[in-house]
Each structure stands twice: as structure tokens, then as C-alpha cells.
């Protein structure tokens, strides 16, 4: 396999080195760079990145573990490269999927055709905790419920991408996509110049355009957009400030807003100012203490009434979570067929629902091979990774499933692709996933090429979540060779 000392893991698809042992086209320059660069220099650059992230304050909070509450997410200096053809197909699949999710949300809060047609079980939707009866009959501006969706993908083969999970509520991580790119430009300009990489820097302006496009039609003023954050103790606070800053809009907390005559205003030094679109980074149960959690100090009393009166747009709309629930996930390919009349371009991971008798039996008999998750869990907490668990852990987990089978789903343990990663022992394969961000406004879908690549830094680990020791990588989508630099340089 050439001069590269890099050795992929047997049985896992590797992003750089193909099954035949040859370096894949998209990775030619990265491979050369890894071979030719002194590891001491790579280590020095890695440290530089760490210092920069800390100084800029790109940190996240980890709950309940003691120690320094503000940490940086480890950044890996080896980029993850996706070629133009791969990306083109992914992008089509993402657009199709998110379109269907939005159609589904509009439908179930209105006519519920998909339920009446018997495609999805009514109870699964209507008894779902993420389903909000308060949203019944609501027609969102532009027909969009989930304006910002993050779709978690994994790769297991050359052309085999699976969707692991949809995030239709408040997906985070896009600031890392942008900051990782900044960091690579700073650290390795030569390596970047050797590639034609699709830019991602315009994401904030795409986001602002998306948010403005769904402003309530009742107002003919230039719409005022704000980002609503739970505050500085939220784990994604950095991202909230980052996005507000790059869009040039106010970053507000609940206490900065108030509702009067069903209109939303913010308190400013000039007096009250009307707000039209709120990019909300607060979970639904906390947005309005008059309607949901009465103890919430994060929300705005009266916000739901203002929303229902059509005087303000919330992105994403409350109630969008019912589309990304792990038990509804199973049915996304059915939605695509039902609403769009198309076959799903992106594959779902086969999923067993422990609430069903047959599936239950299968899961209990095969705990050692499966990944079991809580239906309502997130962040990689509370899951059982069968092949990496002990007998005792399996037995304890089995008891939890037995107590509330409806609360669990299981999936086969996928051989997640690996990507070369700079770790203590040098450059080694580590498992990665990919979260692209899909924006939907009144004028359709837009996707910035790339996304957030998360990497499980511990050897053999399949858990990429930042709360579980995962790191991030810059994700490069190469532009097709026909366009771009060569043509422009003539």
C-alpha cells in the first residue's frame, strides 16, 4: 500500500485507503501530506489549534462531571474529504428527506392524511411526547416547520451512507463546521491550496436569508430577526453568539423579550422594538411558561399566542420534534414515498422497536450484537453498544428494556467508516460520522457543502458525541473538476 504507514482496520470502510489497499482519489494529496510532514510539526500545529480554540473561547459545557466546566472539543487536524460525486448524491438525498419531514409535520398538525391512510400508526404520532396538540391547525409561514435540520449520517461502504438520526428541533454543531475550516486555513494553507474545496463560509448568510424568507406576511417592514438563547450556561452558548454575530442580529434571552397584544418586542436602550423572526435555541417545553413548563424562566410568556396569531415566526417551529423521534425515524422512507412518490435516496439503518413483540424477542436474544438506545435519549447518553459491553451491563440493560420496552429501539452495530486521525501514536484510523445542515425557507432547500464530521478519538470507540470524548474534523467537499480554478485561471 505505497509509502503510507497508515493501516486501516480490517472489515471497516476507510475514507482514505480503499479495500484494494490503494489511496482513494479524493485523498491523494492528504496522503502525500501525511507521509511527507514531520510528525513533530503536526503535533505543534495540533497544540496551536488547541491554544487558539481556548483563547477564542470556542468551548462547550459538560454537565455534572466536575472539573473545568468549559472545555474545548478536541479538534483533529486531518481533514475528512468527500468527493464531488459522493456529495452530489448525498445532497439530493438530504433535500428529499428534509422536504418529506416538513410535509409530514404540516400534515400531522393539519389534515393528518398520512395517519388516515394508515401509513403510520396514529398512536405513534399522537401519543408521542414531542407531539404538541397546541400546534394543531397551525399553518407555518412558507409551509416550513423545521428550518434548520441536522441529519446524522454514517458510511459503511463505497456508496453506502445510512441516516442514523434526524435532528429536526435544534441541531447544533454548525459553528464547529465553520471554525474548523477557519482553523485549517490558519494552520495548513498549503494543503488547502492543493485542493478545490467548496466554501462553507456563507452559511450564516444563507441562514439569515432562510429566516427572513419566513417572516410573517402581516408585516411590511424589513423583518427583525433574533437568536434566542437559554444563556451563557448552555452547552452550545458559543454557537449561539457565533451565529448571532455572523448574521449581525441580536442574541436575546427570554428576559429580553415580552409580548404585548400578541406581538413580540425586545427591550432596548431606545425602548421596545418589534421582533418578527426568532431563531430559537431553547427546547419547546421552555419557550412559554403560560402554555408549557410554568417554571421556565428561559421562555417568554405569551409567545405561543403571538405565534398562533401569525405575528412572529419561530424557527424551528414548536412541535417539530415529533419528526425526529427515534420511533418515527423508522417511517421516514414511507413518508418520502407518501408525500413525494419517490424512493428514499438515503438509507435508514434497520431498526427494531422493542415495543413490538417480534422485535422485542430478537433484541433480547441478540443484545451482544446490537446498539440499543432510548427513544427519547440524545447526546450518546444511556445507550448500550452490544459488542463493547460486558455481560453484567447487558443484563442490567435488559432489565431496563423489560420494564418499559416502548422506550427503546435497537439497531445492528454498523461498521462505521474510519478516517485517518492524528492521535498520540501517530496517524491512525478512527470512526467518524457526518452531520450536514439542511436549511429550508419559503423558497426551498439549501445545503452548504460539507457539515460537521465527528470522530471517536478513543481507539475502537463508535461513540462520536462530544459529551462522550468525541472530537471534530474539518469536512472538505471537493468541487467538480470541470468548474473552479482551472477554468478561471485561463
Q: Which residues bind other proteins (CB under 8 A)?
A: 54-57, 231-232, 237, 241, 244-245, 250-253, 255-256, 266-270
Least CB distance to other proteins at residue 169 (A): 24
Q: Which is nearer to other proteins, 240 or 430 (CB)?
A: 240
Helix/strand number for the chain, H first, E second: 15, 23
Q: Which is nearer to other proteins, 255 or 443 (CB)?
A: 255
**For residue 144, with 0-12 CB atoms within 10 Å meaning exposed, 13-18 middle and 19 or more buried, which class applies?**
buried
* DSSP of 159-208: TEEEEEEEE-S----HHHHHHHHHHHHHH-HHHHHTS-B---TTHHHHHH
Q: Which is nearer to other proteins, 267 or 361 (CB)?
A: 267
Q: Which is nearer to other proteins, 231 or 412 (CB)?
A: 231
Least CB distance to other proteins at residue 401 (A): 42
Least CB distance to other proteins at residue 99 (A): 33
Residues pairing with 61 in the sheet: 70
Q: Is the dihedral of CA 416, 417, 418, 419 positive or negative?
A: negative
Least CB distance to other proteins at residue 249 (A): 9
Q: Which is nearer to other proteins, 256 or 459 (CB)?
A: 256
Q: Which is nearer to other proteins, 58 or 346 (CB)?
A: 58
Least CB distance to other proteins at residue 244 (A): 5
Least CB distance to other proteins at residue 271 (A): 8
Q: Is the dihedral of CA 425, 427, 431, 432 positive or negative?
A: positive
Q: Which is nearer to other proteins, 251 or 457 (CB)?
A: 251
Contact between 51 and 424 under an 8 Å Cβ cutoff? The reply is: no
| The total number of residues written for the chain in this structure | 490
Query: How far, in Å, CA of 82 to CA of 153, rounded?
Result: 13
Least CB distance to other proteins at residue 71 (A): 13
Closest Cα to residue 4, out of 456, 21, 42, 14? 21
The SS3 of residue 77 is strand
Query: How far, in Å, CA of 79 to CA of 420, rounded?
Result: 8
Least CB distance to other proteins at residue 213 (A): 23
Closest Cα to residue 314, out of 451, 138, 175, 172? 138
Query: How far, in Å, CA of 155 to CA of 400, rounded?
Result: 30
Q: Hey, what's the cell of 274?
A: 418589534
Q: Which is nearer to other proteins, 241 or 461 (CB)?
A: 241
Q: Which is nearer to other proteins, 265 or 437 (CB)?
A: 265
Least CB distance to other proteins at residue 54 (A): 7
**Which residue blocks in 375-436 are alpha helix, DSSP H?**
391-403
Query: How far, in Å, CA of 132 to CA of 109, rounded?
Result: 9
| Alpha-carbon separation of residue 129 from 146, 320, 400, 479 (angstroms) | 17, 11, 20, 42
Amino acid at each position: 500500500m505505497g509509502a503510507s504507514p497508515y493501516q486501516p482496520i480490517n472489515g471497516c470502510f476507510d475514507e482514505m485507503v480503499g479495500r484494494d489497499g490503494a489511496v482513494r482519489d479524493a485523498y491523494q494529496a492528504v496522503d502525500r501530506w501525511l507521509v511527507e510532514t514531520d510528525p513533530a510539526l503536526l503535533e505543534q500545529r495540533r497544540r496551536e489549534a488547541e491554544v487558539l480554540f481556548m483563547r477564542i473561547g470556542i468551548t462547550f459545557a459538560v454537565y455534572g462531571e466536575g472539573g473545568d466546566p468549559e472545555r474545548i472539543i478536541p479538534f483533529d487536524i486531518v481533514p475528512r474529504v468527500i468527493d464531488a460525486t459522493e456529495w452530489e448524491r448525498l445532497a439530493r438525498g438530504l433535500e428529499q428527506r428534509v422536504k418529506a419531514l416538513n410535509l409530514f409535520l404540516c400534515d400531522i398538525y393539519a389534515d393528518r392524511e398520512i395517519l388516515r391512510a394508515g401509513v403510520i400508526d396514529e398512536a405513534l404520532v399522537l401519543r408521542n411526547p414531542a407531539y404538541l396538540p397546541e400546534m394543531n391547525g397551525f399553518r407555518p409561514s412558507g409551509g416550513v416547520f423545521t428550518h434548520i435540520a441536522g441529519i446524522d449520517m454514517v458510511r459503511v461502504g463505497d456508496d453506502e451512507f445510512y441516516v442514523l438520526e434526524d435532528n429536526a428541533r435544534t441541531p447544533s454543531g454548525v459553528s464547529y463546521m465553520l471554525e474548523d475550516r477557519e482553523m485549517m486555513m490558519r494552520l495548513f494553507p498549503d494543503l488547502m491550496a492543493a485542493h478545490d474545496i467548496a466554501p462553507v463560509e456563507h452559511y450564516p448568510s444563507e441562514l439569515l436569508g432562510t429566516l427572513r424568507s419566513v417572516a410573517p406576511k402581516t408585516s411590511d417592514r424589513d423583518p427583525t430577526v433574533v437568536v434566542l438563547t437559554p444563556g451563557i450556561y448552555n452547552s452550545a452558548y458559543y454557537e449561539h453568539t457565533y451565529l448571532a454575530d455572523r448574521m449581525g442580529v441580536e442574541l436575546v434571552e427570554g428576559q429580553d423579550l415580552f409580548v404585548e397584544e400578541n406581538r413580540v418586542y425586545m427591550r432596548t436602550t431606545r425602548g421596545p422594538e418589534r421582533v418578527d423572526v426568532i431563531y430559537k435555541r431553547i427546547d419547546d417545553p421552555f419557550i412559554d411558561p403560560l402554555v408549557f413548563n410554568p417554571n421556565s424562566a428561559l421562555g417568554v410568556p405569551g409567545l405561543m399566542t403571538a405565534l398562533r396569531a401569525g405575528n412572529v415566526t419561530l424557527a424551528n417551529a414548536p412541535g417539530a420534534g415529533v419528526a425526529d423521534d427515534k420511533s418515527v425515524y423508522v417511517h421516514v422512507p414511507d413518508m418520502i414515498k407518501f408525500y413525494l412518490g419517490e424512493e428514499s435516496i438515503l438509507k435508514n439503518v434497520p431498526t427494531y422497536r422493542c415495543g413490538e413483540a417480534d422485535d422485542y424477542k430478537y433484541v433480547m436474544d441478540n443484545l451482544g450484537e446490537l446498539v440499543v438506545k432510548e427513544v427519547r435519549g440524545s447526546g450518546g447518553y444511556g445507550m448500550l453498544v452490544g459488542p463493547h459491553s460486558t455481560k453484567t451491563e447487558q443484563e442490567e440493560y435488559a432489565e431496563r428494556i423489560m420494564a418499559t420496552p416502548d422506550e427503546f429501539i435497537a439497531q445492528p452495530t454498523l461498521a462505521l467508516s474510519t478516517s485517518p486521525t492524528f492521535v498520540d501514536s501517530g496517524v491512525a484510523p478512527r470512526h467518524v460520522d457526518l452531520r450536514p445542515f439542511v436549511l429550508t425557507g419559503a423558497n426551498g432547500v439549501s445545503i452548504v457543502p460539507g457539515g460537521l464530521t465527528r470522530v471517536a478519538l478513543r481507539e475502537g470507540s463508535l461513540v462520536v458525541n462530544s459529551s462522550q470524548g468525541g472530537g471534530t474534523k474539518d469536512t472538505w467537499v471537493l468541487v467538480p473538476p470541470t468548474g473552479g480554478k482551472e477554468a478561471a485561471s485561463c
